[in-house]
Amino acid sequence: MAHDITKTNSRSTPTARPAPTLTRPVAVPARDLPKIERAQPVNHNQANKAARRQAEAESRRRYHAAWQEYYQKYYQHYYLKQLEDQKRQFESDTKDQLPPEQRAADELRRQLLSRISENAVKIKKSKHFKPILAGLVAVLLIVFIQYNQLLSAGLHSLISPADGSSIIIAANANRPDSQNPTLLIPKLSVRAPIIFDAANQTEAGSQEALEQGVVSWPVDGASAKPGQYGNSVILGHSSSDIFNSGQYKFIFVQLNRLNLGDLFYIDYENVRYSYEIIDKKIIAPTDLQALNLGESAPFASLITCDPPGTTLNRLVVIGRQISPKPSSAAETQSTPDTKNQDIPGNPPTLFERLFN
């Protein structure tokens, strides 16, 4: 038994392994080692001190800026108050020297201005202010669209109604510049084509022709053409709606500047006819008889609306032919029947053309 046990133990006992052999570390030269820079330690105390100094400097700057602003406003208010006190003192001293009537008028004016100012503030704060203002603007816009020719006439009366070109007429020059019928008024710097057409006798025809120049408008007793005995009637706009077409809407706006003795010219059929103004008058739009000057001499009449921009009356400027010689004039050939027709006025406005 003892043998068996021993045998059994000898088999179960593990075999001891040899201990590992320790190798000696190899020394590496210092020149072959990588260079590692040491991080500098952060000095938090210095950073905090710098931040505090910066904050204190900004606080001092704001402090001084606030005081400077305070002193500036203080002295500004102080000097303004001094000026107001001096002004009131001056007004008081002056008021004492004024007569009682003047003082009463000044006091009444002051009270009136004060009330107007107070009412204006109340109106602005009112909820009805903006709707009323919008309505007023709309009304003014409508009035301007409908009656802008009045304002336009006033503006154009201050400037040349034509193209601004200089018109020089040589003495006794009977040769026209153009073969087309043309009206020339040197004093007004007016140069405009004359439209001769039978359709011009109607209101619509006249308004259409007036967009292209001035219009020959023959009527009963005044149907002559240039170079014929009788009266040659020529119409032109004094003012027209700015929304209408045509470049001759203000051609006669300064016609009232012509005086007796002034000259105007008509180029017609290769002849220049010279006219000297002998009369200037205001007539009603229905007074066609005033245009009948008889056939004792050749005449030419320039007609436009008066006052400019309205259709209340007509301004008539009458000229007598002085060149060529009046004795060389021919007889009038046509006599249109226009007894019941008024002298044309302004063309329809924008609203009239839209709603008619």
Q: What is the CATH number of the domain that holds 319?
A: 2.40.260.10
Q: Locate all alpha helices (DSSP H) within 98-196, ordered by sequence.
A: 100-125, 129-156
Q: Per-residue pLDDT for 17 more than 70?
A: no
Decide if 207 is inside a domain.
Answer: yes
- Asked if residue 227 and residue 80 are part of one domain, the reply reads no
Compare 35 and 317 and report the one with higher pLDDT: 317
- Asked if residue 168 and residue 312 are part of one domain, the reply reads yes
Decide if 330 is inside a domain.
Answer: yes
| DSSP state, residue 128 | T
What span, in angstroms and rounded, lies between the C-alpha atoms of 210 and 247? 9
Chain-centroid distance of CA 340 in Å reads 43
Contact 230, 295 (CB under 8 A): yes
User: For the residues 202-216, what does the mean pLDDT come to?
Assistant: 87
Q: Is 326 helix (H, G, I), strand (E, B) or coil?
A: helix
Decide if 118 is inside a domain.
Answer: yes
- Asked if residue 119 and residue 186 are part of one domain, the reply reads no
Out of 139-143, 150-154, 291-295, which region has the weakest mean confidence (pLDDT)? 150-154
DSSP string, 233-261: EEE--S---TTS--S-TTTTTTGGG--TT
User: Is the preceding peptide bond at 324 cis, omega within 30 degrees of 0?
Assistant: yes
- Asked if residue 174 and residue 107 are part of one domain, the reply reads no
Compare 139 and 7 and report the one with higher pLDDT: 139
Which tens digits make up the pLDDT trace of 102-129? 778 878 888 888 888 888 777 777 777 7
- Asked if residue 172 and residue 104 are part of one domain, the reply reads no
- Asked if residue 221 and residue 106 are part of one domain, the reply reads no
Please choose, from the candidates 270, 246, 254, the residue with its C-alpha nearest in 3D space to the C-alpha of residue 306: 254
Contact 281, 319 (CB under 8 A): no
- Asked if residue 328 and residue 227 are part of one domain, the reply reads yes
Contact 277, 188 (CB under 8 A): no
Q: Per-residue pLDDT for 308 more than 80?
A: yes
- Asked if residue 193 and residue 121 are part of one domain, the reply reads no
Torsion angle (degrees, nearest 10) of CA 299, 300, 304, 307:
-40
Of the pLDDT bands very low, low, confident and very high (cuts 50, 70, 90), residue 32 is low
Residue 103: give the domain boundaries. Answer: 66-125
For the chain, strand residue ranges (E) read 182-185, 190-195, 214-216, 230-235, 263-268, 271-283, 298-306, 313-323
Decide if 251 is inside a domain.
Answer: yes
Which tens digits make up the pLDDT trace of 224-261? 999 999 999 999 998 887 777 788 988 999 999 999 99
Which tens digits make up the pLDDT trace of 49-94? 888 888 888 888 888 888 888 888 888 888 888 888 888 777 777 6
Helix (H), strand (E) at residue 81: helix 44-97
Name the domain boundary from 125, 148, 176. Answer: 125
Q: Which amino acid is at 340?
A: N
Decide if 72 is inside a domain.
Answer: yes
CA-CA-CA-CA torsion sign (27, 31, 33, 39):
positive
What span, in angstroms and rounded, lies between the C-alpha atoms of 263 and 186? 8
Decide if 136 is inside a domain.
Answer: no
Out of 114-128, 180-194, 287-301, 333-347, which region has the weakest mean confidence (pLDDT)? 333-347
- Asked if residue 278 and residue 198 are part of one domain, the reply reads yes
Confidence (pLDDT) at 163: 45
What span, in angstroms and rounded, lies between the C-alpha atoms of 164 and 312? 29
Domain count, the chain: 2
- Asked if residue 321 and residue 180 are part of one domain, the reply reads yes
The count of C-alpha atoms lying within 13 angstroms of the C-alpha of 272, restricted to the half-sphere facing its C-beta, is: 16
Q: Per-residue pLDDT for 182 more than 50?
A: yes
Decide if 7 is inside a domain.
Answer: no
Task: Kindly report the backbone phi and psi dihedral angles of residue 276, in degrees, each rounded to the nearest multiple of 5, phi listed first.
Answer: -105, 130
- Asked if residue 169 and residue 119 are part of one domain, the reply reads no
Decide if 199 is inside a domain.
Answer: yes
Contact 208, 195 (CB under 8 A): no
- Asked if residue 289 and residue 235 are part of one domain, the reply reads yes
